Amino acid sequence: MVTEPVSALASLAHVKHAAVVVTDSGCVQEEACILGVPCVTVRENTVRIATLEIGANVLSGFKPESILACARYQIDRADRDWPAIYGTPGAGERIVDVLLREFRSFREY
């Protein structure tokens, strides 16, 4: 799907529900990896090397036939259960727990 620009939250929703993400953005490579969505990066290199090492991401280069082949490869892969390279899932919940504890004790003063 190709769309007009969307908000950050809408962008994450698109990534989360995609079969594969095709991008040149380093941040989107990481977001796709975190969300468990295979990625094709339309570049010759990336600084997000960890995403390549675990198979969450592949580099396609710039040729249309290579981009398409990489997208097909990523969609057809059986193994999408790569390790959490950007930290343990649930960080948001743990942050909320800490904030709630702190604000509760703040209210007591």
pLDDT digits (tens, 9 = 90+) for 42-80: 999 999 999 999 999 999 999 999 999 999 999 998 777
CATH among 2.30.30.40, 3.30.300.130, 3.40.190.10, 3.40.50.2000 for 8-107: 3.40.50.2000
Answer whether 41's CB lies under 8 Å from 58's CB: yes
Angle between helices 26-35 and 8-16 (to 10 degrees): 50
pLDDT at 7: 95
Average pLDDT over residues 9-30: 95
Q: Where are the domains of the chain?
A: 8-107
pLDDT at 88: 78
Residue (of 20, 33, 7) closest to 75 by Cα position: 20
Answer whether 23's CB lies under 8 Å from 74's CB: no
This prediction's pTM: 0.79
